[in-house]
Chains A and B, each alone.
Chain A
């Protein structure tokens, strides 16, 4: 047996090489019709599967599978922006909400600059970010009117006069509402607050009203003396003129 193996190893096996194709394109589109037996064999050995849809009800077939719907992927950058927005909401004493009509970029930049000069920040956020920032807080009503085009202005000082002064220059920005010292105020109330003078003048007015009773009394007591004095002064003037 060992000798036979050695014999096999001594022999060389040269395979016969028969060229099937020489250049030219291969034929895929018009295959030669197969020999009948071969054709039968091929047809019988073709794999067939049961239709996976055959036992399903129409509702199963036609409704979209809910588990395949991918919800919005968690966006950490949006969370950061939302956090920043939340901080702004908490720290600013005056927040104004505007409806924004179409503006040039030039106009937008001018508005930005004008507000910066008044120490206010003009910001545009998307609704989703705002929702993230503001949901389950006391500022949730903002989402109600945050439709269409919006712009927000944050001011660390509650300076309504300045705000309205800057807003007047840009008619494309329509004031909707504001948050003043953490409280929601409507546009009418903003105008009312705008008319209120600053604290000193208000105090002075209060003092005046408190003293009004006494001032009227002194005025009435001194009325006769005052008229006498004024008449005498007039007479003096007349005499001087005559001279």
Chain B
């Protein structure tokens, strides 16, 4: 008698797969605009820049084409921050100085993406022709 296979079939590639997992959940529908402010010479500007890069990927942008993502480069050695303006009243501000990209994305999903209303599935009407074609296949 053999034991059933236990464990994962796929191996995760570390932090990046966690980030990718969060990015897939990101929904920009409740967002009006995102302003990413950082000073390139600040030692902790990496997180803001990485976040900016991840959020401007086509797949994430697809979720809301009306959302404006504005990078703001400042030169006064201020700490990096990310300001998210919502469609409804209110805004969320992330102080990216001591956070990692993964943490920011997790919190973003928790507070912002959760506000997005789930899409209603419209019942797909299948015509007779379509049914015939499906049967042939």
Question: Hey, which chain B residues are within 8 Å of A99, CB to CB?
Answer: 40, 49, 52-53, 71
Spot the interface stretch: A75-83, A145-153, A200-208. Answer: A145-153
Which residues of A are found within 8 Å of B40, using beta-carbon distances? 97, 99, 145, 176-177, 187
Query: At the interface, yes or no: A175 with Cβ under 8 Å from chain B?
Result: yes
Shortest CB distance A168–B (Å): 14
User: What's the minimum C-beta distance from B68 to chain A, rounded to whole angstroms?
Assistant: 10
Q: How far is the CA of A75 from the CA of B41 in the complex (A)?
A: 30
Within 8 A of A (CB), among B35-60: 40-41, 43, 45-46, 49-50, 52-53, 56-58
Is there contact, CB below 8 Å, between A187 and B73?
yes
On chain B, the residues within 8 Å of A148 by CB distance are: 46, 49-50, 53
Q: Are A147 and B75 in contact (CB under 8 A)?
A: no
Residues in A neighbouring B49, C-beta threshold 8 A: 99, 147-149
In the docked arrangement, what's the CA distance between A85 and B45, Å? Answer: 25
Interface range on chain A (Cβ under 8 Å from partner): 20 to 34
Bound-state Cα–Cα, A50 to B56, Å: 62
Enumerate chain B residues within 8 angstroms of A189, measured Cβ to Cβ.
75
A212 interface hit (Cβ, 8 Å): no
Point out the residues of chain A lying under 8 angstroms from B56, CB to CB.
101-102, 172
Partner of A174, one of B41, B73, B75: B73
* A186 CB–B CB distance under 8 Å: yes
Judged by DSSP, the binding face of B is mixed
Q: Does A188 contact B (CB under 8 A)?
A: yes
Q: Give the complex CA separation of A186 and B71 in angstroms.
A: 15
Complex: A131 Cα to B49 Cα, angstroms: 20
B75 touches A145 (CB 8 A): no
What separation, in Å, do the CA atoms of A186 and B40 have in the docked complex? 9
When distances are taken between beta carbons in the complex, the residues of chain A under 8 Å from B57 are 102
A102 and B50 contacting across the interface, CB-CB below 8 Å? no
Q: Which residues of A contact B71 (CB under 8 A)?
A: 99, 101, 174
Check: A74 CB closer than 8 A to any chain B CB. Answer: no
Q: Which residue of B41, B53, B73 is within 8 Å of A102 (Cβ)? A: B53
The 8 A CB mask of A68-112 against B (1 = contact, 0 = none) is 000000000000000000000000000001011110000000000
Whether A11 sits at the interface, judged by CB under 8 Å, is: no
Whose C-beta in chain B lies nearest to the C-beta of A186? B75
**121-170 of chain A: CB within 8 A of chain B:** 141, 144-145, 147-149
CA distance A188 to B57 in the complex (A): 27
Q: How far is the CA of A175 from the CA of B49 in the complex (A)?
A: 12
Contact of A188 among B45, B50, B75 (CB under 8 A): B75
CB-contacts of B42-93 with A (<8 A): 43, 45-46, 49-50, 52-53, 56-58, 71, 73-75
| 27 sampled A-B residue pairs with Cβ under 8 A | A97-B40, A99-B40, A99-B49, A99-B52, A99-B53, A101-B52, A101-B53, A102-B58, A144-B43, A145-B40, A145-B41, A147-B45, A147-B46, A148-B53, A172-B56, A174-B71, A174-B73, A175-B73, A176-B73, A177-B40, A177-B41, A186-B41, A186-B75, A187-B40, A187-B73, A187-B75, A188-B75
Nearest 9 Cβ contacts at the A-B interface: A148-B49, A186-B75, A145-B40, A101-B56, A176-B40, A174-B71, A147-B46, A188-B75, A187-B73
Known A100-B53, A148-B46; 6 more pairs at CB < 8 Å: A99-B53, A102-B56, A102-B57, A147-B49, A176-B40, A176-B73
| Interface residue ranges, B against A (CB under 8 Å) | 40-41, 43, 45-46, 49-50, 52-53, 56-58, 71, 73-75
